[in-house]
Amino acid sequence: MALGAVCCSGATADFVEMVGGQTSVLLDFQLIEDATGLQFAGVSEGVITPGNLGEGSVAFGITSPFAASEPTTFGYAPTDFFGTFQGSIEHRGAVYFGGAADLTVGNFSIGWDDAEGFQVVDTIDLDIALFDVNILAASPLAGTFDLDADLLISNTFADLLIDLGLTETDLSGTDVGDARVQGINRVIPSPAAAGALLIAGLFTGRRRRN
């Protein structure tokens, strides 16, 4: 992960949480088929086509933190991203593969692993990290979070592909596509700021009554 590629904003917001947006993915399906025999068979209803990475890309909606299931919990302080980020970015939607095996992956979760860094985890069927996220550039601002990255086959997914007999080659670290996260944030006031706003509101209301 290229830490130097991450640019933090000088925004004064104490902490923000992601409330929506989308993640676009452009996978090299031909490379995947050549390496594993898995053939792209389509996407589930609700997946956006094309995504924001051009022809052949798809996009998955980022769930709200208020979603009944799989809510996004990702947040950070814009002035200190690496010292404060927490939670995960959750998505809705699936990708189907056929050919050498029938495989469904989706409802992807992007989160941090202390040993591997940011990873993309399938939460539909396999429940493992599919890809390591090799960050190329990121902009964690107060109102938005933008990230561009390469998707590299994770060690766990590479081991599974061998166990399923889909390849005899260790594909760990193979670059199979690109991802672009475009998140929308809301500011969470600090307790001090929230208290000041409450006091100001009470004072204003009292003045109006007088």
Residue 64 in this model has a pLDDT that exceeds 90: yes
Q: Using CA atoms, how far apart are residues 65 and 198, in angstroms rounded to an integer? A: 24
| pLDDT given at position 24 | 99
Mean pLDDT of the chain: 90
| Residues contacting 84, CB < 8 A, separation 6+ | 15, 76, 77
- Six token digits for residue 194: 């929230």
* Residue type present at position 98: G
| Residues contacting 162, CB < 8 A, separation 6+ | 168, 169, 170
88 SS3 class:
coil
Query: pLDDT, tens digit, for every residue of 94-142?
Result: 999 999 999 999 999 999 999 999 999 999 999 999 999 999 999 999 9
* Residue type present at position 6: V
Rounded to the nearest angstrom, the gap between the alpha carbon of residue 98 and the centroid of all alpha carbons in its chain is 25
Q: Where are the domains of the chain?
A: 3-209
Q: Using CA atoms, how far apart are residues 62 and 91, in angstroms rounded to an integer? A: 5
- Structure confidence at residue 5 as a pLDDT band (50, 70, 90): low
Q: Using CA atoms, how far apart are residues 83 and 79, in angstroms rounded to an integer? A: 9
Residues in the chain, overall count: 210
* Burial grade of 204 (CB within 10 A; 0-12, 13-18, 19 or more): exposed
Q: Using CA atoms, how far apart are residues 125 and 44, in angstroms rounded to an integer? A: 14
